[in-house]
Amino acid sequence: MGGQACILYGAAEFTRDVDLAVAVDPPNLKRLQAALRDLQAETIYFPGLSKSVLRRGHACHFRTQSPGLHRLRIDIMSRMRGVDPFSRLWKRREEFRLPGVGIVALLALPDLVKAKKTQRDKDWPMIRRLIEADVARHSGDADALRVDFWMRECRTVNVLRELARRYPEAARRAATGRPALREILRGGNSKAADLLRKEEDVERARDRRYWAPLRRELEKWRLGR
C-alpha cells in the first residue's frame, strides 16, 4: 500500500521499506506472525503487533534480519484515515504477477490515492504522478468510472484541463463537487492551481486532526509501560 505499490502502478519512487495493509482476524494474524518469524523480523518501535493496536489505527514497525533481506523495514496497518475497511479494500484489490515472485495484491489505485492523502510533503507529488501515469496508461481505453476518478483526483492543472477537453460531460458532472475543476472549465488556470493547493491543505489538516488522539494514546501507552 506504499512506495512499492506506487512503483508497480508506474509512479516511480525510491523506497526503503514495504508497507502492508492486513486483515485483522486471529487466523490471519497468526499467518502474519509466522511470516515475520521466517523473516527474523524484530519490532523496532512501540507498540508491538496486536489485534487491538491495528484496529485502533496504529502502525506496527519491523526490521528483518534474515539473509538477503537484512534490515528491510516492514510497516503494517489495517485501518487508515479516509479509506474503507480492509474487507472492501480486498474485494477491490489489483493483482500484479511479478517474475520470480508470483502474484502480489495491491490496493486499488483509488484506494491508494486516498491512503496517500496525508500531512506528509512527499505524498502529494506521488498522488500527482499516480494519476498522470494512469492517464497515460489508459488514455485509449478508459471507462466512465476511471474518467470520473481522474476528474475527482487529478492534481495537475494542464492534465486536468486536457481531460476536461476530452471528456466534457464527465468534467461538468465532476465540477459540481470540485471548485478547482469548475475554475478550469471557466479558463482560470492560476486560480485553479490555488484551489488545488486548498484541497491539499484541507486534507493535511484532516490528517493532523485524525492522528492527534492516536499520538496521545500512543504516548499514554508508552508512559504506562
CA 42 to chain centroid:
25
Sign, CA torsion 178/179/182/184: negative
What is the per-residue pLDDT across 69-95, written as a single tens digit (0 to 9) for each?
888 999 999 999 999 999 999 999 999
pTM for this predicted structure: 0.92
Cell of 28: 490471519
The CA distance from 175 to 110, in Å, is: 18
Residue range 11-29, pLDDT digits in tens: 877 777 899 999 999 999 9
Contact 178, 151 (CB under 8 A): yes
pLDDT tens string 105-152: 999 999 999 999 999 999 999 999 999 999 999 988 999 999 999 999
Domain boundaries, the chain: 3-108, 123-209
End-to-end CA distance of the chain: 31
